[in-house]
Structures are given as C-alpha cells and as structure tokens.
Structure 1
Amino acid sequence: MCIVTNDISKAIRRKRADLGLTKKEACEQINISFKTLKKIELGSSEIKHSVYKKITNWLIKDY
C-alpha cells in the first residue's frame, strides 16, 4: 500500500481544476473508480501501488 499525502491530493485537485475536468472525467482519464478519487482528494489515505502509479503518471502527463 502507498500513502497519498496532502500534497499529492492538492496536486490532483489543482490539475483537475486547471483542465476543467469533473471528478468523473478525471477518473476516466486516470482509469480509477470515482470512489477512489474522492477518497484521495479528501486527503491522506492508503491506496494500492497500482493506483498510486496511475495517479503519478497522470499528474506528470502533459503538465
């Protein structure tokens, strides 16, 4: 399991806002569930390594 820090949560919210994406659209781009994204955006939480990798790849892509 990987821990999502508040900094990562903020980065996700910031990129989503910059791109004008809804949570649903961001979930589709990242390929994770809505429930997982909601949990991550709320702050520190533990997620699977595979989800952490998807998030970090999305954060660095085209940004």
Structure 2
Amino acid sequence: MTSTNTLCGVAPAPKPKRRAFTADYELSVLGLCEAASPAERGALLRRERLYHTQPSDLT
C-alpha cells in the first residue's frame, strides 16, 4: 500500500492566497467606514467583501 496525497487519483485544490491590501486602499476604506452610518458601513463592507473585524485590523 502506498501513501499519496490524492483521493481517487485527483490532486487536491491549491490553497487560496490571502488578499493583500495597499496602504491607499486601506485608508480609503477606513475613511469611508468612519463617514458612513451603520447601515451604509454594512453595505460598504459587503461590497468590498470584507468581514466586520477587518477594518479594525487595518488600523
């Protein structure tokens, strides 16, 4: 019996890469978040595909 990293002869999918944000992008998103109401902030984060904890991580 041999050990392989495949299941049924199919190689696993590559690991997804984490997103990297530029400083300009971070500052623009933080500025928009600070100026937005809570409802607008939620829409902004969904549009940018960010989680609610990520703006605090950007600071």
**Same fold per superposition (TM over 0.5):** no
For the aligned pair, the TM-score class normalised by the smaller chain equals: 0.3 to 0.5
Higher RCO (C-alpha under 8 Å, 6+ residues apart): 1
| TM-score, scaled relative to structure 1 | 0.39
Q: Which has the higher strand share?
A: 1
Bigger radius of gyration, 1 or 2? 2
